């Protein structure tokens, strides 16, 4: 019978257990600074919790890092802190430790004024949140003519449904100003759900609430427009 590879988990400061993953993925977490020498690690093989520095196959990675300082993890965690995410409405109700963990999965994207972030029909594989700047969703309705569908300002998010439906983009998105965005790619969203279901749960609740409120607003605006047209028709 083939023996499966040992699996590792760690207990994060947000009180969430991350994993299980195999050794190469766990070593990557150490190099990113997510797992430190005093982090509690669960060895699925022995069903025990041990400090990371006390596990023989991990010791060399902490010796090599001693005195060298902590390298900034890739993504947003090297440039943003948890309190910066408070500016984003989608994240406002998550607690500090959850936001600290979420930073590990976000990427920073800078887009110059008038630049195209993506085009209608492109694969919808990421969600974006605006830290600074302003963007608009548009559709071209004729040569050189466009119709603006939505405008998003700092603190707002868009593309949440892309994480769930995987369909093509329904419009172009263009920067009205120089803008800084936080990007959550679909692949990293899947990582959250597999590595840390306890983090995925509050995040999915916020996405569901955002999509529901946005749909209600669109429906109410449409109903209001139809009512006004009917009243105008009756008066005429």
Task: Tell me: pLDDT of 66 over 70.
Answer: no
% of the chain with per-residue pLDDT over 90: 30
Cis geometry, peptide bond prior to residue 20 (ω within 30 degrees of 0): yes
Mean pLDDT of 66-71: 44
Contact between 183 and 107 under an 8 Å Cβ cutoff? The reply is: yes
Render 196-211 in DSSP notation, one character per residue.
-HHHHHHHHHHHHHHH
The distance in angstroms from the start CA to the end CA of the chain is 83
> Is the pLDDT confidence value at 190 over 50?
yes
* Cβ pair 154, 111 in contact under 8 A: no
**Statement: residue 14 has pLDDT above 60:** yes
d(CA 113, CA 164): 29
Tell me the pLDDT band of 95, cut-offs 50, 70 and 90.
confident
CA angle centred on 215, ends 212 and 216, rounded to 5°: 85
Backbone angles phi, psi at 170, to 5 degrees: -90, -5
Mean pLDDT along residues 43-62: 87
Q: Residue 181's pLDDT band (boundaries 50, 70, 90)?
A: very high
**Average pLDDT for 141-163:** 89
Cα-to-chain-centroid distance, residue 147 = 28
Q: 17 with 28: CB under 8 angstroms?
A: no
What pLDDT was estimated at residue 136? 96
Under the banding of pLDDT at 50, 70 and 90, the label for residue 73 is very low
Q: Given this model, what pLDDT does residue 232 score?
A: 65
The pLDDT tens digits of the residues spanning 78-88 come to 677 888 888 89
What's the pLDDT band for 72 if we cut at 50, 70, 90?
very low
CA distance 163 to 62: 36
What pLDDT is attached to residue 3? 53
Residue 173 pLDDT > 90: yes
- Residue 234 in 3-state DSSP? helix
Cβ atoms of 139 and 149 within 8 Å: the answer is yes
pLDDT (average), residues 171-186: 94
- Residue 142's pLDDT is 82
Output 210 or 178, whichever has higher pLDDT: 178
Note the residue count of the chain: 236
Between 197-235 and 186-195, two packed helices, what is the crossing angle to 10 degrees?
A: 130
Pairwise pLDDT comparison (226 vs 189), residue with the higher score: 189
User: Phi-psi bin for 19: left (phi > 0), alpha (psi -120 to 50), beta?
Assistant: left
Distance CA 202, CA 157 (A): 16
In this structure, what are the phi and psi dihedrals at residue 233, rounded to the nearest 5 degrees? -65, -40
- Nearest 5°: the CA angle 128, 204, 110 is 10
């Amino acid at each position: 019978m083939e023996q499966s590879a040992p699996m590792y988990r760690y207990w994060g400061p947000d009180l969430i257990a991350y994993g299980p993953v195999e050794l190469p993925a766990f070593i990557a977490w150490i190099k990113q600074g997510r797992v430190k020498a005093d982090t509690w690690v669960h060895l699925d093989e022995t069903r025990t919790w041990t400090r990371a520095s006390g596990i023989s196959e991990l010791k060399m990675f902490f010796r090599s890092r001693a005195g060298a300082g902590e390298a900034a993890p890739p993504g947003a965690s090297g440039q943003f802190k948890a309190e910066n995410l408070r500016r984003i409405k989608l994240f406002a109700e998550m607690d500090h430790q959850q936001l600290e963990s979420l930073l590990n999965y976000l990427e920073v994207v800078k887009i110059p004024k008038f630049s195209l972030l993506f085009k209608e029909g492109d694969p919808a594989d990421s969600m974006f949140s605006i830290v600074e700047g302003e963007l608009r969703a548009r559709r071209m309705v004729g040569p050189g003519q466009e119709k603006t569908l939505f405008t998003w300002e700092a603190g707002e998010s868009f593309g949440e449904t892309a994480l769930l439906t995987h369909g093509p983009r329904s419009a172009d998105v263009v920067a009205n100003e120089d803008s800084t965005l936080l990007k959550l790619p679909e692949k990293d969203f899947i990582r959250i759900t597999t590595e840390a279901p306890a983090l995925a749960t509050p995040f999915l609740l916020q996405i569901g609430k955002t999509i529901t409120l946005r749909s209600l607003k669109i429906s109410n605006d449409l109903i209001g427009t139809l009512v006004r047209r009917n009243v105008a028709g009756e008066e005429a």
